[in-house]
Chain A
Amino acid sequence: GNSVTQMEGPVTLSEEAFLTINCTYTATGYPSLFWYVQYPGEGLQLLLKATKADDKGSNKGFEATYRKETTSFHLEKGSVQVSDSAVYFCALSVNDYKLSFGAGTTVTVRA
């Protein structure tokens, strides 16, 4: 089946620190990969996506590269802000439009 494993949190950082959240996947076919973000009290929203190997998704200073050889899609940001405090979900879809989510990683950025 399809599954996503992402690093457990919570992660606490100081402002301007470097953030990495690891995500690996198993899939029965060729997946599209996503990062969704959930700000406190809100629903999920797409942060970035990649649909084929070696694609790099980017948005709001976040980046993730689709690595087929390592089945990974790690999320990175070079300098986090307090406003980046949120829960981050890695997800995939294979051959259809349903999503399989990781467990989520809670990130807290302190001023």
Chain B
Amino acid sequence: NAGVTQTPKFQVLKTGQSMTLQCAQDMNHNSMYWYRQDPGMGLRLIYYSASEGTTDKGEVPNGYNVSRLNKREFSLRLESAAPSQTSVYFCASSESSPGNIQYFGAGTRLSVL
């Protein structure tokens, strides 16, 4: 049971470099999410996709872009990485109803030097 799979698990970038974080789910969920986790701040929503073909900004979208490639895949792109984007990134998925459980990937630990 794969659930939510994120790649890569670790990444080190230099300031100004770009990269794409990949996320795929095999639970046939409509909704997918990208969060960042920083010490003492919990998880903050970057972008989400309520269904295939739609994406919306979350709490902290600046410096990021997303693509909902199909129902399974939701990628997060950093066009020009900054040290402030050093964080742990989590992808999650859920059904699209209030109170539904979100299922999380294992995370990507990103350092921007």
Interface residues of A (CB under 8 A from B): 4, 32, 34, 41-46, 49, 51, 89, 93-99, 101-104
Contacts and interface: CB of A to CB of B under 8 A. Distances in A.
B42 A89 contact: yes
20 contacts: A32-B99, A41-B106, A42-B106, A43-B4, A43-B90, A43-B104, A43-B105, A46-B101, A49-B99, A51-B99, A89-B42, A93-B99, A94-B98, A97-B95, A97-B97, A97-B100, A98-B33, A98-B45, A99-B45, A103-B41
B104 A95 contact: no
B34 to A, nearest CB: 12
B43 A98 contact: no
Contacts of A102: 42
A33 to B, nearest CB: 9
Given A43-B4, A44-B43, A99 B102 contact: yes
A43 to B, nearest CB: 4
Interface residues of B, number: 28
A96 B4 CA distance: 21
A49 B42 contact: no
Contacts, number: 59
Interface of B is mostly: loop
- Identify which of A89, A95, A98, A102 gathers the most chain B CB atoms within 10 Å of its CB: A98
A101 B101 contact: no
Contacts of A93: 98-99
B48 A98 contact: yes
B95 to A, nearest CB: 7
A11 to B, nearest CB: 15
B75 interface: no
A52 to B, nearest CB: 9
A44 B113 CA distance: 27
A77 to B, nearest CB: 20
Given A43-B104, A103-B41, A98 B58 contact: yes
A44 B93 CA distance: 12
